[in-house]
Structure 1
């Protein structure tokens, strides 16, 4: 490990890892038919878990990963997660059966859960306070671009073979791992305050995992089906049990001080609402371009590249704006601008292809909104929490982002139907879906109003002092 790592090097490594984790949320979607064709004797429900398994496991372990990093070291957990993710990606590519492919995807998701919140906390530790907003803006925009590029890139790779959807991760993961071993710092200081609450940790994983399971399965099974209701019940009981245990246990699985911080809490709610609209948008637009307009996946990918390009350009501006006006105000504007995109599509898109008038203005609006919101909400951890809680705070925001993504896809599919492929006669359903996604942006703006108020109150409060580290920085990670 370098004795004086460059912050830019840390940014490159952590952003590469965040890119991989976000990319794999959506890149497999267009590979699903090809995977099914390669395993013709397999049950459709089993194959669906190639998609769903990653989503559920990723969401389930995020909160625990951040808490673990605050205990044993951010660098250590990040590099472990990156290694697990890369090896599991290779295992996915060579899996000889659906069962092994689903298992490898679950392991891949575990790696993603370990590396995502720790990448943010390592980034916060590497940059001085006055430069953190800019660095987080780059990190968040790269994750957003990866998610947006997932479906079209998956479509391009499937043209060669579905195996490349997973193999593409391996060289990037290996390079990031080697670079990370050399340049990553230890991260925030740690405290050794006793053995953590194992039962609470299990409850946290089960509770969040059950919630993700219910949201994933609801469009297919129905919101009133027994498995979905059971998943929601297990989630409620599990998370309630974790909160109760965390109030009494000396080393709780869930740091309630983070959850009770109003700025972080409202940021998490705004993140859930916003990513509900963002994830649903990604699915709806691919369906529209490939189904209604009949464009090929590569051509659809080119058409959808405008949004990610705008995100990258706006992310720098977001950091400066949050420093001047506050996170909440920036998110209010971003949420309303984002909502203008799906609203435009609902009003102007028709079955006759007209990209410049019908699709492009909405792409620009949503790109502006994403570029403003994601960097702003991701930076809240470094602004509102002391360094020894960055891992837990990062995992909370990332969990909110993942829950919102799952909810967005589930909500969209529930509105347009599970059999919808975007055919011209189904355009009315997609219009309804876009209206719902626009409302998600408005809800995010509403939560951001409360966030802005919480920021003003926090600015007048006395900040929490940093605890003394129990281990030297060199041993922290």
Structure 2
């Protein structure tokens, strides 16, 4: 094995390096999972810091402060595919470590930001670093494991990401209450330094694709504009108004850039996203299922916090703690779900998980009322939804890259993450429309019932879509005699 700490040593160009020894694999998992955890955590951890931000910047409007959240989401979503392509072309380790450095620089600047404009720009820098880091982390992880163990490992990696997003409110509330909003960003620094130190020791460079010809810089610009404009239009639509020229204009720009990008990719000798990827049925179906699932999943995450704080009147800290059992179940279930998918294929897991997720949401509709009763009314639904998420969300991450060649791991992961981001933006926009502004507690409860029914419908629809993933399971997920339980 090459010295992973030597960035000048030549990368592999014809094939991914041989999977390392078991101890090294575990170290690679820790490094890549922590990087993904930080990036996913910052999607939701800042939400609970909003009141503290308002107190720090009383002259700023809510619309201005909302960009502290939106800037990260838009840039992260817009640059994911570009980050994945960079990993496949320039090297996964190099891209991961570079993205980590950018992310940490953005975190530091956020923590010392003297004003709102500086803070928003620093959040955008964070998003750019995360977009480089996340696709490369999954590609590095896949390359470290033999084919028969990748489904379990990727599912566990996906479970870590889901855990980060879901626990963001509770962790954010604890951090902000102890040290203020700036520590929601500064907390990334010690974790990131640990990831950087370990990464230099255990990550081995891989670049299975020989970089031939000039990169498609025009395609990079088009896909960035297309996804960024789409996420902007969706995320700002509820605030600007769906017929506002800014909302409509961003949507039109997204459509034009997307069409232009598709046409360019068909002609370019080395496109950002190879159109041949979309001839792979597993890849297409898994990403479509991910998109549908995310439109419900992210609406539920925010919706449940809003219910507990708005209808039951709990503090953000108690609300965050109240939803934490669900993510814990996700973390426990993700690894075994990956192993089981390796034996029986993706479809049974996705159908079962979708049914469990929907059942938990229907429990909320049937039993949760305006009078708080956490143990009898809320906790059972949270545990069942956690089981459903653990059987589906991480498995979808594995299914999306299950049949891809090594040279497309990073960009394939990036497309899946982009589907998740766009779906999540739509889900939050739907939440705003469904909840509306009821004037009574009974009206609030009815609105949340409608939201939970919507999320249940999206969960079931994602299961139906996932049922079209081909069988038998591809080589990536075939079982073998090696079925050790942890990566």
If the length of structure 2 is used for normalisation, what is the TM-score?
0.90
| 1:370 correspondence with 2:389 | yes
Deviation at 1:50, TM superposition (A): 0.3
Is the 1:292–1:424 contact (alpha carbons within 8 Å) kept by the matching residues of 2? Answer: no
Report the counterpart of residue 99 of structure 1 in structure 2. 117
Secondary structure of the residue aligned to 2:431 is: helix
Alignment of 1:144-159 (within 5 A): 144-159=162-177
Distance in 1 separating the partners of 2:291 and 2:221: 23
Cα distance change on mapping 1:416 and 1:126 into 2, 3 Å? same
8 Å CA contact 2:287, 2:400 repeated in 1: no
The counterpart of 1:85, out of the listed 103, 112, 125, is: 103
Q: Is the 8 A contact 1:291 1:424 kept in 2?
A: no
Tell me the alpha carbon deviations over residues 337-385 of structure 1, each in whole angstroms, 9 at most, x when there is no partner.
Answer: 1111222112211011111222112111211111111221111244211
Which residue of the other structure, out of 437, 461, 464, is the alignment partner of 2:455? 437
User: Contact between 2:357 and 2:459, CA under 8 Å: does it hold in 1?
Assistant: yes
Matches within 5 A, 1:212-361: 212-361=231-380
Shift of 1:260: 2.6
Q: Among residues 400, 407, 410, which one is paired with 1:388 in the alignment?
A: 407
- Quote how far apart the aligned CAs of 1:457 are: 9.6
- Judge conservation of contact 2:234–2:425 (CA < 8 Å) in 1: yes
Work out the CA distance in 1 between the residues paired with 2:440 and 2:388: 25
Q: 1:389 to 1:455 in 2, by over 3 A?
A: farther
C-alpha separation in 2, matches of 1:314 and 1:457 = 20
Q: Distance in 1 between matches of 2:279 and 2:415?
A: 12
2: distance between equivalents of 1:414 and 1:46? 21
Deviations 1:434-465 (A, max 9, x none): 111111101101111222xx344978xxxxxx
Determine the C-alpha separation between the residues in 2 that align with 1:43 and 1:368: 40
Match 1:69 to one of 57, 74, 87: 87
**Deviations for 1:188-239, whole angstroms, at most 9, x for unmatched residues?**
5121221111111100000000110011011222323322222221111111
Query: What 5-or-longer segments of structure 2 have no aligned partner?
Result: 6-19, 476-487
**Distance change in 2, residues 1:129/1:356 (3 Å):** same
Q: 1:177 aligns with which of 193, 196, 201?
A: 196
Pairing of 1:114-129 with structure 2 (within 5 A): 114-129=132-147
The answer on 1:192 being equivalent to 2:195 is no
Q: Please state if 1:8 is matched with 2:36.
A: no
Matched position secondary structure for 2:369:
coil
Q: SS of the residue aligned with 1:384?
A: coil
- 2:55: which partner in 1? 37
Find 2:220's aligned residue among 182, 185, 201.
Answer: 201
Q: How far apart are residue 8 of structure 1 and its match?
A: 0.3
Query: What's the Cα RMSD here?
Result: 1.8
8 Å Cα contact 1:126-1:187 kept in structure 2: no
- CA deviation after TM superposition for structure 1 residue 137, in Å: 2.1
* Cα distance in 2, alignment partners of residues 267 and 139 from structure 1: 16
**Matched positions, count:** 456
2:213, 2:386 → 1: CA distance? 45
Q: Secondary structure at the match of 1:25?
A: coil
Work out whether residues 290 and 422 of structure 1, in 8 Å CA contact, stay in contact via their aligned partners in 2: no
Unpaired segments ≥5 residues, structure 1? 460-477
Of 129-138 and 240-249, the range deviating more from structure 2: 129-138
